[in-house]
Amino acid sequence: MSEAGDKRDQINFASVDSAPKKFAGFISVWRAPLVLLTFTLIAVALLLLVNSEAGRAIFPNRDLVFSPYDGRHAIAIRAFLVAFFLAFGLFSSGTALARVRFALDMAMSYLLICALLDLANLSLHHWLGLSYSLHFSAITSGLIGFAVYSFKLLQRGFMPARIRIEHRPVKSTRAILRLIVTLALAGLTSVWVGAMDLEIVQTLRRWTLLGGIGPGVFLFLPVLFLQLYALAIWDVLTSKKADFRPPLSIIVPAHNEEYIIAETIRAMDRAAVHYRGEVHILIMNNNSTDATEAIAGQVLGDCAAAKGRVINVPLPGKSNALNAGLDAVETEYFIRVDADTLVGEDNFSRAMPFFADPRVGVVGGVPVPPGGALFDRARLLEVLVKHGFYSVAMGAVNGVVGIPGMFVVMRTEHPRYLGGFVEGMNGEDTDLSLRIGELGFHSVVDPKLRYVSEVPASYGHMREQRMRWFRSVYHISSRCRDLIYSSNRSLRGKVILPYMLVNSARRAMLIPLILFGALECAFRFNPDSPIIWQSVVAVMTGAPAVVAVVASLLNGVPRGVLALPEYLIFRVMRAYFTLESMLSILVDREAEDLERATRRDIRPEGSIRVA
């Protein structure tokens, strides 16, 4: 464990941002285990039902399937999802009536949609003598289940109010063309490989890297993102200007950061020396009860190139500190830096040339862990995959949603125009970068722009951090749902935000899925499928392992491959934290109509910073 991380672990890391009062509550560490236990009991009951003699007469495919399908499936996905919906809903945060209604709403809505799917299949079978494959039904049922869970949680959860998102259409011919071509090439590659009888496919299945899915399905997303990544790297290499060094302000929100604030300021001063332009550091002392203010003031006075001051912000909450800093900025550009982030010497010099292009609105990079602490090796692979690969790739089609607030550069006029950093919810950084993107400005992620960001050194601190992060997906989606339901043709709203919600649902269900697969395999509830255990293991290791290796090599960090076992274990722990995070969301007895909900028009003159 690093010395700084050890010191950080000794202080209280929880804050008002850990569980915003209106939208979330602190939950016991026993809540998730009770969900998993209840899920297991319900799953066993459903599996016994569909596998009984009477049950097989109604459900010949050993799942809650109501019409004949061709082929076989690897897992009884519908029974799994119904068991999860009931267990999750009953242990969610809310009154007893709210929890029961939530559980039944998810389960009944899902079964109704599946019944309609089966009815369509039955009609196709009756009139044309054709049927969907059971494999297709299982995939479709799974995606439907993830969507039902996500949007029912949005409907019943206490969420930030919907606001009007200002969307400015810009010329996007190149982005659309790129997306069409890369999708087509990825599809053709997948079909071509899927049609080949390759020995490597059988080998991958034996080593559980493919499970029950076909190689074409497995290849599609990696091939797509590899193409987008190559295009994004080309953009990064060709878009930067030789010299652009305007005056900069740096906003650093700081709450009880005495253990690291001196190192943070010294790192920024070294970057200012390299930058050779004006740099103003604003340490926003946010209700600290330790020596943060005194240490920061002393170190600022010793800086060689940067100038700075400490501004006290007594009202607790990171957004309060950020907004006070935004009000104090006097330069055209500013950088938001977290107090536990150590910027690289070239970070300012590398980031600012992008802004010579007036179309660029936000620039970010890749956070790397300091090394030595419990989770640092796994975190290294995580950031290389998420920020160093996927986020970089999305820049090729102007599809970046959020750039983490650990280090992000913006034009000062944009957050001021949008009303500043939102208060009272998780994800204020993503909210702002997403909305700047909708104003028509590009968000750039430069994989060579790297900075050191502290990683929680204890299980408790990691749990608190991840619950904040994972809950923010729903807070952002709720606040910015105008992009999803309005007529604006926004890639972020129509594709990326729904994908983020579905992906969050998938991650929350990972451990229950492992338990369910283990039950089916151990008790042979699905004897017609010989690939249950391979499919379950493939979910945990297959695609994630391959993408992690690719991301490590593309980012020039081959040592990251050595952390692959830790990363795969960390992914399971991350899934557990996602489940806990979703359980912390407060639910109501009544469901909100997300599409017709009243929109609040956010303008600078109003009360604009409260979720």
The string of pLDDT tens digits covering residues 21-66 is 778 878 899 999 999 999 999 999 998 888 888 877 787 777 888 7
SS3 content of the chain, % helix, strand, coil (to 5): 55, 10, 30
Rounded distance, CA 120 to CA 237, Å? 51
- CA 310, distance to chain mean position in Å, is 33
C-alpha angle 385-230-488 in degrees, rounded to nearest 5 = 80
Kindly state whether residues 194 and 77 are assigned to the same domain: yes
Kindly state whether residues 404 and 504 are assigned to the same domain: no
Q: Is residue 250 part of a domain?
A: yes
Kindly state whether residues 393 and 257 are assigned to the same domain: yes
C-alpha angle 20-22-23 in degrees, rounded to nearest 5 = 70
pLDDT single digits (tens) 269-278: 999 999 999 9
Kindly state whether residues 277 and 301 are assigned to the same domain: yes
Last residue in a domain, options 392, 422, 456 = 456
Instruction: Give the mean model confidence (pLDDT) for residues 107-112.
Output: 95
More confident residue, 168 or 86: 86
Kindly state whether residues 328 and 476 are assigned to the same domain: no
pLDDT single digits (tens) 213-229: 454 456 777 888 899 99
Rounded distance, CA 514 to CA 276, Å? 54
Kindly state whether residues 209 and 60 are assigned to the same domain: yes
Q: Is residue 166 classed as helix, strand or coil in its secondary structure?
A: coil
Strands (E), 415-574: 442-453
Last residue in a domain, options 396, 431, 456 = 456
Kindly state whether residues 283 and 395 are assigned to the same domain: yes
Kindly state whether residues 212 and 267 are assigned to the same domain: no
Rounded distance, CA 566 to CA 187, Å? 32
pLDDT single digits (tens) 227-244: 999 999 998 888 766 688
Domain count, the chain: 2
Last residue in a domain, options 456, 472, 496 = 456
Among 136, 121, 34, 120, which Cα is nearest to 77's? 136
Kindly state whether residues 420 and 483 are assigned to the same domain: no
The rounded mean pLDDT for the chain is: 84
Q: Is residue 7 part of a domain?
A: no
Instruction: State the first-to-last Cα distance of the chain, in angstroms, to the nearest integer.
Output: 37
Instruction: Give the mean model confidence (pLDDT) for residues 195-222.
Output: 58
CATH label of the domain that carries residue 392: 3.90.550.10
Q: Is residue 381 part of a domain?
A: yes
- Is a pLDDT exceeding 70 seen at residue 204? no
Instruction: Give the mean model confidence (pLDDT) for residues 137-153.
Output: 90
Kindly state whether residues 188 and 41 are assigned to the same domain: yes
**Domain residues for 594?**
21-233+457-611
pLDDT single digits (tens) 493-548: 888 899 899 999 999 998 998 888 888 877 777 666 555 555 556 555 667 788 88
Instruction: Give the pLDDT confidence score for residue 337 in this predicted structure.
Output: 95
Instruction: Give the pLDDT confidence score for residue 605 in this predicted structure.
Output: 41
Token output for 150: 């996500």
